[in-house]
Homo-oligomer: A and B are copies of this chain.
Amino acid sequence: MITMQTGPQPADFADVRATNLAVVLRHLRINAPCSRADIAAATGLNKATVSSLVADLIERRLVKETGMTERRIGRPATMLVLDGSPYAAIGLEVNADYMTAVAVDLAGDRLLSWRRAFAGSSSNPGQAAASIAALAKRAVAKVEKDGRRTLGLTVGVPGLVDGDGIVRIAPNLRWRDVDLRSAMRKALNEPPYPIEVENDANLAVLAEQRYGGFADAANLVYLTGEVGIGAGVICNGHLLRGSRGYAGEFGHILVDPTGPVCGCGRRGCLEALAGIGAVVSRALPDASASSPTELEPEVEEVVRRAKAGDPKVLDVLAETGRHLGYGIATVANLINPEVVVLGGYFVPLSPWLIPAAELELASRSIAPESGGTRIVASHLDLGAAATGGAARVLDTIDSGRLPTR
């Protein structure tokens, strides 16, 4: 559960110190290596404050001195970099056809990245939770074997997750009211670190903000290109969860009241027309696309045929791009983001999807030049939600709430 602040709150000196620790960590994340004097100059904090903050960070092994110095007039400066070598943050993603696990250190360097096929849509919630917990256990064992302490673990799921970590609805997993957080805590023997469950698109957009080159986009939308299509939305620089955590249900925008039945039970939802299952079954009517196996090889076949100029496949992709553009226009009219990032299986299909989506966006946008909204493919690999799960754990540290010693 991500908390939010409404209205001004009293500032006291503990808040100021946490804020300033956060400023130093963020400055180092972007600019390291740099000296204490560099930090002071760039942040406006005085040198004594920076020294005290850095001492605190070094003591917790979040920052280290490199020994490297810079040539300058006067005394040589000791350079600082993020350390975080004793820590690991873990993210997992479960989807209709695969699971992923990612672990990163505090500098954001990836410690592991695993992907495995998973018949999510044909497992029952108990089996699924056991499979996810088994993957989590292996990831934790791996980082702890390497001498690291697990700071936290976040699981991304393609569905509505409430503030208690209960998955209320995940249509493409056929889940309702699954208390995944408790199941995970139990399967991992009530570990000392926090376990969170979040919507996969919310985690993916956090990953894009942190690692995707969109740190400056205050309004950013990520679309998961899976069997379902969820949106992760950042507004004014912060993740939008909405009142109960159910924001971002992009896939259920109504496109065609006479369209195919969606996983949610309604007709003509965007994801029933433009989700990857629909795309594969229309582009490869000969393939057994209804099987719950991994869709990766089928998407590769669609790409191969598109590259070869197969007119049937090109038609399907152009139509899919138009459907996406229609949905993106609705989002652009309502939220006016700088960027909409296509993720998941949309990434390899993006050369064919984006031009059609851009035309539709331009024709349906009320704002001039589509309000400046750009459509791009993610540069992160398929583990965006898992990477974002790990990033969620790092956010706690970056906001100046340091791990206890």
Taking Cβ atoms with an 8 Å cutoff, the residues of A that contact B are 4-12, 15-16, 19-20, 22-23, 26, 43-45, 160, 168-169, 171, 215-219, 231, 233, 235-238, 240-250, 252-254, 264, 266, 326, 330-331, 333-338, 364, 366-368, 371-373, 398-400
* A contact patch SS: loop
Question: Once the chains bind, are B334 and A250 in contact (CB under 8 Å)?
Answer: yes
User: In the bound complex, do residue A366 and residue B243 qualify as a contact, i.e. CB atoms below 8 Å apart?
Assistant: no
A254, B11: Cα distance in complex, Å: 46
In the complex, the answer to whether B26 meets A7 with C-beta atoms within 8 Å is yes
Besides A9-B19, A235-B238, 8 more A-B contacts (Cβ < 8 Å) are: A8-B398, A168-B368, A240-B335, A243-B336, A252-B364, A254-B326, A254-B364, A331-B334
Q: CB within 8 A of A336: which of B10, B216, B241, B399?
A: B241
Q: Is there contact, CB below 8 Å, between A233 and B337?
A: no
Given contacts A7-B237, A254-B326, contact A335 B247 (CB under 8 A): yes
* CA of A368 to CA of B245, assembled, Å: 12
Q: Which residues of B contact A248 (CB under 8 A)?
A: 334
Residues of chain B with a CB closer than 8 A to A169's CB: 366-368
Minimum C-beta distance from A240 to chain B (A): 5
8 pairs across A/B with beta carbons < 8 Å?
Answer: A8-B26, A219-B240, A219-B243, A235-B236, A235-B238, A244-B371, A249-B336, A334-B335
Shortest A310–chain B CB gap in Å is 29
A243 touches B337 (CB 8 A): yes
Nearest 5 CB-CB pairs, A to B? A242-B336, A6-B237, A249-B333, A8-B22, A246-B367
Separation of A368 and B160 alpha carbons in the complex (Å): 9
The listed residue with most B CB atoms (<10 A of its CB), out of A217, A367, A398, A399, is A367
Cα–Cα, bound, A6→B239 (Å): 11
Given A5-B237, A240-B236, do A366 and B160 touch, yes or no (CB 8 Å)?
yes
For the complex, what is the distance from the CA of A336 to the CA of B366, rounded to whole Å? 23
CB distance B8 to A249 under 8 Å? Answer: no
Inter-subunit contact A242/B335 (CB<8 Å) = yes
Q: Please measure, in the bound complex, the distance between the C-alpha atom of A397 and the C-alpha atom of B338, giving whole angstroms.
A: 30
A247/B336 contact (C-beta < 8 A), A216-B6, A330-B330 known: yes
Q: How far is the CA of A237 from the CA of B264 in the complex (A)?
A: 30
- Asked if B368 and A233 sit within 8 Å, CB to CB, the answer is no
A58 to B244, CA, bound (A): 41
Q: Let me know if B4 and A244 touch, CB within 8 A.
A: no
Report chain B residues within 8 Å CB of A6. Answer: 215-216, 218, 236-237
Q: How far is the CA of A250 from the CA of B253 in the complex (A)?
A: 14
Q: Is the pair A235, B240 in contact by a Cβ cutoff of 8 Å?
A: yes
- Bound complex: CA A130 to CA B74 (Å): 63
- Distance in Å: Cβ of A251 to nearest Cβ of chain B: 8
B333 engages A252 (CB within 8 Å) = yes
Per a CB cutoff under 8 Å, which of B19, B246, B338, B372 touches A8? Answer: B19
Contact present for B44 and A12 (CB under 8 Å): yes
A253 and B9 contacting across the interface, CB-CB below 8 Å = no
Contacting pair A11 B19 (CB below 8 A): yes
Contact B10 A244 (CB under 8 A): no
B243–A217 touching, CB < 8 Å: yes
Chain B residues, Cβ within 8 Å of A216: 6
B233 with A334: CB separation less than 8 A:
yes
Q: Are B8 and A23 in contact (CB under 8 A)?
A: yes
Tell me the complex Cα distance, A331–B231, Å: 13
Chain B residue at minimal CB-CB distance from A45: B10
A255, chain B: closest CB distance, angstroms? 9
A243 with B231: CB separation less than 8 A: no
Is there contact, CB below 8 Å, between B364 and A160?
Answer: no
- Which residue of chain B lies nearest to A168 when distances are taken between CB atoms in the complex? B368
